[in-house]
Amino acid sequence: MPATAAAQDAALLRRETDIIWLAVASALVFFMQAGFALLESGMSRTKNSVNVLMKNYIDLCIGTLVFWMFGYGVMFGDNPSGWYGTSDFFLSGASELDYSLLMFQTMFAATAVTIASGAMAERTRFSAYLLLSILVTGIIYPVYGSWVWGGGWLAERGFIDFAGSTVVHSIGGWCALAGVIVLGPRLGRFGSGGKPAYIAGHHLPQVALGGFVLWLGWFGFNGGSTTAASLSIGPINLNTHLAAAAGVVGIIILSMILRIPLLLTNTVNGALGGLVAITAGCATMEPGYAIITGLVAGAFVIGGTALLALLRLDDVVGAIPVHGFCGAWGTLAAGLFYDGDLFNGERIVTQLLGIGAGLLWALPLAFILFRVLDGLVGLRVPERFEMQGLDYAEHYEIAYPEFGNVQLHRGKEF
Amino acid sequence: MPATAAAQDAALLRRETDIIWLAVASALVFFMQAGFALLESGMSRTKNSVNVLMKNYIDLCIGTLVFWMFGYGVMFGDNPSGWYGTSDFFLSGASELDYSLLMFQTMFAATAVTIASGAMAERTRFSAYLLLSILVTGIIYPVYGSWVWGGGWLAERGFIDFAGSTVVHSIGGWCALAGVIVLGPRLGRFGSGGKPAYIAGHHLPQVALGGFVLWLGWFGFNGGSTTAASLSIGPINLNTHLAAAAGVVGIIILSMILRIPLLLTNTVNGALGGLVAITAGCATMEPGYAIITGLVAGAFVIGGTALLALLRLDDVVGAIPVHGFCGAWGTLAAGLFYDGDLFNGERIVTQLLGIGAGLLWALPLAFILFRVLDGLVGLRVPERFEMQGLDYAEHYEIAYPEFGNVQLHRGKEF
Amino acid sequence: MPATAAAQDAALLRRETDIIWLAVASALVFFMQAGFALLESGMSRTKNSVNVLMKNYIDLCIGTLVFWMFGYGVMFGDNPSGWYGTSDFFLSGASELDYSLLMFQTMFAATAVTIASGAMAERTRFSAYLLLSILVTGIIYPVYGSWVWGGGWLAERGFIDFAGSTVVHSIGGWCALAGVIVLGPRLGRFGSGGKPAYIAGHHLPQVALGGFVLWLGWFGFNGGSTTAASLSIGPINLNTHLAAAAGVVGIIILSMILRIPLLLTNTVNGALGGLVAITAGCATMEPGYAIITGLVAGAFVIGGTALLALLRLDDVVGAIPVHGFCGAWGTLAAGLFYDGDLFNGERIVTQLLGIGAGLLWALPLAFILFRVLDGLVGLRVPERFEMQGLDYAEHYEIAYPEFGNVQLHRGKEF
């Protein structure tokens, strides 16, 4: 083989390897949808578990088509203003690599949109939620994304968010926060005098499995964010794993200090908090700092959950602490622990700017959209439906018809 | 390194990359077995859920050995007649790539055989089902497969079935159809006057998880059907994902038009129908057509399910609409929407020929085999066993001994 | 591109491909944690299912940090004596490939430690188990590992254990054996006169899913043990799959011969026994011998389970037969069926030496550690806790609060 043919073949193999890695990573990130579905359904009551699963399926499917039609172009199209993209809608006739990138980014958009469903579980009207998921995948997520990953104004300032602690997770978390503010808490969540009453999820093994599936998917989420074959996949995924483990160890230590029980739900959320937090800086940190990032994330999970209860905000699965707060912390940590240049003040300021921009973009906008949806179709189901359970009231089916689902027999059970 | 050594090394790396991709894809397709087990078990009643799981395990294991012994040779061995292969039985001493291909194809054979188990659930004798799975993996599936993928007569005519809408899914679906015809419906499935009575599956979260696992596995099923590192993996898997999402959106639209509830089981089957349909043409279609293929598949799922009920055929999980009908539709769609040459009449005729050949090969042959098995060992369990549940009657164990499985206490529950 | 630049680029792509394969394999082996959690939780009673899940989560997280701090250095650090490593603790500033290897090996350590949790389920004190997992990940596992994979004395003698039938599985199994000896059987496991009483697991679909997840993970466990892009990944994973299938077929045949019911738990354990057994020799055996290795492993599962019952040892999930006995058998089989040099006496002696060294290292040491832990904190929970269930007594939560978990209402249920 002459040298030029050999070089062409080598270049082709490199592109093919890039596409294989993107395909593997896309599959892993896709599987996170199953993780969210299991986790959120398990943390809900039996009578709402089908509703949660349906939201996860339908927001994925609608979001996938909306992102192909609009979102991808808004996020990655030509971006002359630095504020949003203006091309690549209904992507067609593109290169194999562009199709691979669209696939990978579709999975990210689907992750961002599904974060809110868990926080808002057990009381949100199905149709309103689906309208929301169109707006998140078509506007809220990709506009902010264009600022960071689409060559926009935050990218130009050197803001670091390698795989989306802010772009995906905090944005999703702030949408969730807006949602629970507009929705209000579930019936019975805050008893007389506003004292929080614990409402147990109906299926803890499902929660545990969901946590493992999400953790697995994160190796595609972070590792795949190289979007190409790269040596750095190794340290990125090691950091990812260490931070997740450290998130749980943070929960253990804090539970011992505070003398509170080490709950399975907190344990799973500790791992997820560590994963969310390391997402921004996984490519630019040494392992020891990844562990610190994870440990601190565990504290944000416990503290954030307590803070929400104090504010009478009802987040069914802890999505706001895990994705919102840990996402913000992790984005800051990416600046603090930047390899070879720790605690650089300028970088820290840039990181805070990006975090703040995400909060100021997503929270008010989502709040307004939720209010408008509330006025148009009603964001919350009627009280009677909430007591019956959304599965029966909105979907005409129940999750386990043979396991004595008590809520169908008791009129006032909630 | 001299140029020739470099070229050899590059060629080696290419072969290694091929094998890595095949290994990843094989693992993903293997995992579809878990998806089928979850989906089919969840759509069955508690009293038959172990039976369904056992069928999935045992047909995989027996099928794996039978395919190594006979099936692979029948499908991919030297094929002088164009109708079946005649070498490569008990594959041994082969190259690493051949072993990789055997592995990948074993997972396909296991998929084909397990499709029937869901349709025939809750009333089929375990031993009869196992004999069937030997015949499917050893004869029905690989003989047809040799026509298309083993260089046989359909391959020569340019029949397009990239990853097996017909080869795997329709063939499996027609076996399922033959099975439910011979078996007859479950007790109580069609009430007095033949009116269909809905028999709810016992565990919808399992169904939802099974759907996600199958969807995940399809990225190996379709993407892996390149059987080598290839740029086309990118668009193939994008099309796969878009068609699945569109299948669900098709179900949503049709449910709204027909004013029927959007059931979780239909939603999951809509995704699967889209996946089955895009399997034939995923490598030769632009994304917009993949979406159309999926949307129409959603209609085939709803329509096919209604048709079977009308014909008093009892398919517990909807395997016949999803795999049989959507497989046929998708094979046609691969001809209709061929990139750069839409609606070519000659290609459409070839596709119809292949679809028809699959139907005429698998349905009568499976019907005869089922009849013979019925005469020899009895295809259907005694009525008493069906009422008790197959778990207790055939397996001496029950799925959830602590959850108050009511069927053990009520003699006539079914 | 000049020839040297091309060669450098080719070498880079090779290293990147190595790292991609390690990342994929690490993710698959990680997912085995979910498989263990599902399997062990499903085979336990409802009242202890959260406890099992928590052990799986916490031993993974603590084990991950301990292995980074100590275990990796003990196992893979400079090993002048041939008995343990002495460098690479708190790995930092390392190459991308070293980080990838640490990641992959961390997943192996996590597998080794979690094996014991299933055998010791339903009666072990949570805090004692966690101390144990530190000792296994920090000492027992990596010291033996350094002998085989860290260039130690067994490596020098040509001992074959490609992916860890002994290094991971038997070592884990012998720890489990020591644990059940020290713990004693669960209340009610051996009735009056010592007759074994069957205690059914609470969730067989979870067991089945766990089995599929473990099987999936094994394609990373064995295939990934090349630790680099390699043609041999193809035959390795084919052998892995064939042995798993053969393990189940072995169970079927033996169940027919012995006229015992073909239980789902035995079926799943048959597959796992086949997988454990082929782990040592998967890279150095032809497919036919992989099948034999698996078939015999099925017999070890059935026979080993019966042996333990005879000895009044209570292994809740069958971890000792599956990992201990099948691991030893498979390590022997790797010597017996070595490709191109079958039944070489010298090799068989070396294999027996390695198997014996593992047993003599892990069993007494684990036994002593368990005894010490028993003296310090109490290895077993009080009888009252065991009757209540560990979920309520140790974790303050229950797995399925809405499914009528009978154990909370009956004081003496066990």
Instruction: For residue range C192-220, list pLDDT tens digits in order.
Output: 777 888 899 999 999 999 999 999 999 99
Taking the C-alpha atoms of residue A98 and residue B286, their distance in angstroms, rounded to an integer, is 13
Reported confidence tier of residue A406, pLDDT bands at 50, 70, 90: very low
**Is residue C177 classed as helix, strand or coil in its secondary structure?**
helix
Which of B 227-246 lie inside 8 A of C, CB atoms?
none
Please write down the HEC assignment for all residues of chain A. CCHHHHHHHHHHHHHHHHHHHHHHHHHHHHHHHHHHHHHHHHHCCHHHHHHHHHHHHHHHHHHHHHHHHHHHHHHHCCCCCCCCCCCCCCCCCCCHHHHHHHHHHHHHHHHHHHHHHHHCCCCECHHHHHHHHHHHHHHHHHHHHHHHCCCCHHHHCCCCCCCCHHHHHHHHHHHHHHHHHHHCCCCCCECHHHCECCCCCCCHHHHHHHHHHHHHHHHHHHHHHHCCCCCCHHHHHHHHHHHHHHHHHHHHHHHHHHCCCCCHHHHHHHHHHHHHHHHHHCCCCCHHHHHHHHHHHHHHHHHHHHHHHHCCCCCCCCHHHHHHHHHHHHHHHHHHCCCCCCCCHHHHHHHHHHHHHHHHHHHHHHHHHHHHHHHHCCCECCHHHHHHCHHHHHHCCCCCCCCCCHHHCCCCCC
Taking the C-alpha atoms of residue B119 and residue B177, their distance in angstroms, rounded to an integer, is 8
Query: Can you give the pLDDT at residue A191?
Result: 79
Taking the C-alpha atoms of residue C317 and residue C265, their distance in angstroms, rounded to an integer, is 8
Chain B residues lying within 8 Å of A22, measured CB to CB: 234
Reported confidence tier of residue A196, pLDDT bands at 50, 70, 90: confident
Query: Can you give the pLDDT at residue C1?
Result: 55
Which of A 250-279 lie inside 8 A of C, CB atoms?
252, 261-264, 267-268, 271
Taking the C-alpha atoms of residue A76 and residue A88, their distance in angstroms, rounded to an integer, is 8
Q: Report yes or no: B19 at the C interface, CB cutoff 8 Å.
A: yes
Is the CB of residue A203 less than 8 Å from the CB of residue C14?
no
Average pLDDT, chain C: 94
Across the interface, whether the CB atoms of B248 and A33 are under 8 A apart is answered no
Query: Can you give the pLDDT at residue B404?
Result: 63
Is the CB of residue A208 less than 8 Å from the CB of residue A39?
no
**Helix pair A126-135, A96-119: axis angle to 10 deg:** 140
Q: How many beta-carbon contacts under 8 Å exist across A and C?
A: 175
pLDDT above 90 covers a percentage of chain A that reads: 90
Per DSSP, what are the bridge partners of residue B380?
Answer: B124
Q: Is the dihedral of CA A304, A307, A313, A316 positive or negative?
A: positive
In the numeric block, the tokens 């079927």 are attached to: C252
**Mean pLDDT of all residues in C298-302:** 98
**Mean pLDDT of all residues in B382-404:** 89
Chain C residues lying within 8 Å of A223, measured CB to CB: 23
Among candidates C58, C96, C396 on the partner chain, residue whose Cβ is nearest the Cβ of A248: C58
Distance from CA of A18 to the nearest CA of C (A): 10
Interface test with B, best of C241, C295, C409, C414 (most B CBs within 10 A): C241
Among candidates A34, A96, A404 on the partner chain, residue whose Cβ is nearest the Cβ of B234: A96
Q: Report yes or no: A326 at the B interface, CB cutoff 8 Å.
A: no
Which residues 6+ apart lie within 8 Å of A306 measured at CB? none
**Mean pLDDT of all residues in B317-340:** 97
Average pLDDT, chain A: 94
Query: What are chain A's partners, defined as 3 or more CB pairs within 8 angstroms?
Result: B, C
Please write down the HEC assignment for all residues of B337-356. CCCCCCCCHHHHHHHHHHHH
Among candidates A202, A204, A241 on the partner chain, residue whose Cβ is nearest the Cβ of C64: A241
Query: Can you give the pLDDT at residue B198?
Result: 86
| B90: DSSP letter | T
Lowest mean pLDDT segment, chosen from A167-176, A231-240, A296-305, C404-413: C404-413
Which residues 6+ apart lie within 8 Å of A31 measured at CB? A213, A216, A217, A220, B212, B216
Query: Can you give the pLDDT at residue C412?
Result: 33
Lowest mean pLDDT segment, chosen from C117-121, C322-326, C330-334: C117-121
Chain B residues lying within 8 Å of A37, measured CB to CB: 205, 208-209, 212
Across the interface, whether the CB atoms of A19 and B213 are under 8 A apart is answered no
Q: Report yes or no: A111 at the B interface, CB cutoff 8 Å.
A: no
Across the interface, whether the CB atoms of A223 and C22 are under 8 A apart is answered no
Q: Report yes or no: C20 at the B interface, CB cutoff 8 Å.
A: yes
Query: Can you give the pLDDT at residue C2?
Result: 64
Chain C residues lying within 8 Å of B110, measured CB to CB: none
Interface test with A, best of C57, C100, C113, C390 (most A CBs within 10 A): C57
A246-292 residue pLDDT tens: 999 999 999 999 999 999 999 999 999 999 999 999 999 999 999 99
Give the containing element (helix H, strand E) for C274: helix C264-281
Which residue of C lies nearest to A256 if distances are taken between CA atoms? Answer: C127
Distance from CA of C286 to the nearest CA of B (A): 7
Q: Report yes or no: B27 at the C interface, CB cutoff 8 Å.
A: yes
- The two tokens of residue B165 are 């809408």
| pLDDT tops 90 at residue B119 | yes
Chain B residues lying within 8 Å of C208, measured CB to CB: 37, 41, 53, 56-57
Among candidates A212, A232, A262 on the partner chain, residue whose Cβ is nearest the Cβ of C33: A212
- The two tokens of residue C48 are 């202890």
Q: Which residue has the higher pLDDT, A409 or B51?
A: B51
Which residue of C lies nearest to B126 if distances are taken between CA atoms? Answer: C262
Across the interface, whether the CB atoms of A49 and B204 are under 8 A apart is answered yes
Reported confidence tier of residue B402, pLDDT bands at 50, 70, 90: confident
- The two tokens of residue B382 are 């005694």
Taking the C-alpha atoms of residue B207 and residue B214, their distance in angstroms, rounded to an integer, is 11
Buried b (16+ CB within 10 A) or exposed e, B315-334: bbbbbbbbbbbbbbbbbbbb
Which residue of C lies nearest to B104 if distances are taken between CA atoms? Answer: C238
Query: Can you give the pLDDT at residue B296?
Result: 98
Chain C residues lying within 8 Å of A263, measured CB to CB: 395-397
Across the interface, whether the CB atoms of B234 and A22 are under 8 A apart is answered yes
B33-92 residue pLDDT tens: 999 999 999 999 999 999 999 999 999 999 999 999 999 999 999 999 999 999 999 999
| pLDDT tops 80 at residue C84 | yes
Nearest to B234 by CA among A407, A24, A360, A386: A24
Across the interface, whether the CB atoms of C103 and A405 are under 8 A apart is answered no
Chain A residues lying within 8 Å of C403, measured CB to CB: 46, 202, 400, 403-404
Q: Report yes or no: B312 at the A interface, CB cutoff 8 Å.
A: no
Residue A88, Cα to own-chain centre: how many angstroms? 25
Across the interface, whether the CB atoms of B231 and A19 are under 8 A apart is answered yes
Interface test with B, best of C198, C233, C293 (most B CBs within 10 A): C233
In the numeric block, the tokens 């004869």 are attached to: B139
Query: Can you give the pLDDT at residue B412?
Result: 33
Taking the C-alpha atoms of residue B291 and residue A61, their distance in angstroms, rounded to an integer, is 11
Query: Can you give the pLDDT at residue B407?
Result: 39
**Mean pLDDT of all residues in B232-256:** 97
Q: Where are the domains of chain B?
A: 9-78+99-395
**Mean pLDDT of all residues in B8-13:** 91
Across the interface, whether the CB atoms of A10 and C15 are under 8 A apart is answered no
- The two tokens of residue B279 are 């399997």
- The two tokens of residue A286 are 């040494």
Lowest mean pLDDT segment, chosen from C168-177, C272-281, C320-329, C396-405: C396-405
Query: What are chain C's partners, defined as 3 or more CB pairs within 8 angstroms?
Result: A, B
Reported confidence tier of residue B1, pLDDT bands at 50, 70, 90: low
Q: Report yes or no: B401 at the C interface, CB cutoff 8 Å.
A: yes
Taking the C-alpha atoms of residue B81 and residue B147, their distance in angstroms, rounded to an integer, is 10
| pLDDT tops 90 at residue A414 | no
A381-402 residue pLDDT tens: 999 999 999 998 888 888 998 8
| pLDDT tops 60 at residue C124 | yes
B153-201 residue pLDDT tens: 999 999 999 999 999 999 999 999 999 999 999 999 997 777 888 899 9
Query: Can you give the pLDDT at residue A413?
Result: 30
Across the interface, whether the CB atoms of B233 and A20 are under 8 A apart is answered yes
A206-247 residue pLDDT tens: 999 999 999 999 999 999 999 999 999 999 999 999 999 999
Q: Report yes or no: C3 at the A interface, CB cutoff 8 Å.
A: yes
Nearest to B335 by CA among B343, B327, B325: B343
Among candidates C17, C213, C235 on the partner chain, residue whose Cβ is nearest the Cβ of B16: C17
Across the interface, whether the CB atoms of C249 and B57 are under 8 A apart is answered no
Among candidates B209, B232, B271 on the partner chain, residue whose Cβ is nearest the Cβ of A38: B209
**Is residue B196 classed as helix, strand or coil in its secondary structure?**
strand
Average pLDDT, chain B: 94
**ipTM surpasses 0.85:** yes
C337-361 residue pLDDT tens: 999 999 999 999 999 999 999 999 9
Q: Report yes or no: B342 at the A interface, CB cutoff 8 Å.
A: no
Interface test with B, best of A57, A212, A390 (most B CBs within 10 A): A57
Which residues 6+ apart lie within 8 Å of A225 measured at CB? A25, A162, A163, A164, A236, A283
Nearest to A51 by CA among B263, C154, C158: B263
Query: Can you give the pLDDT at residue C402?
Result: 86
Query: Can you give the pLDDT at residue C253?
Result: 96
Reported confidence tier of residue A193, pLDDT bands at 50, 70, 90: confident
Q: Report yes or no: A163 at the C interface, CB cutoff 8 Å.
A: no
C241-285 residue pLDDT tens: 999 999 999 999 999 999 999 999 999 999 999 999 999 999 999
Query: Can you give the pLDDT at residue B396?
Result: 87
Distance from CA of A215 to the nearest CA of C (A): 9
Taking the C-alpha atoms of residue A74 and residue A83, their distance in angstroms, rounded to an integer, is 9
Assigned CATH for A9-78+99-395: 1.10.3430.10
Q: Report yes or no: C205 at the A interface, CB cutoff 8 Å.
A: no
Across the interface, whether the CB atoms of B61 and C209 are under 8 A apart is answered no
Interface test with B, best of C4, C264, C272, C400 (most B CBs within 10 A): C264
**Mean pLDDT of all residues in C16-40:** 98
Q: Is the dihedral of CA C202, C206, C210, C212 positive or negative?
A: positive
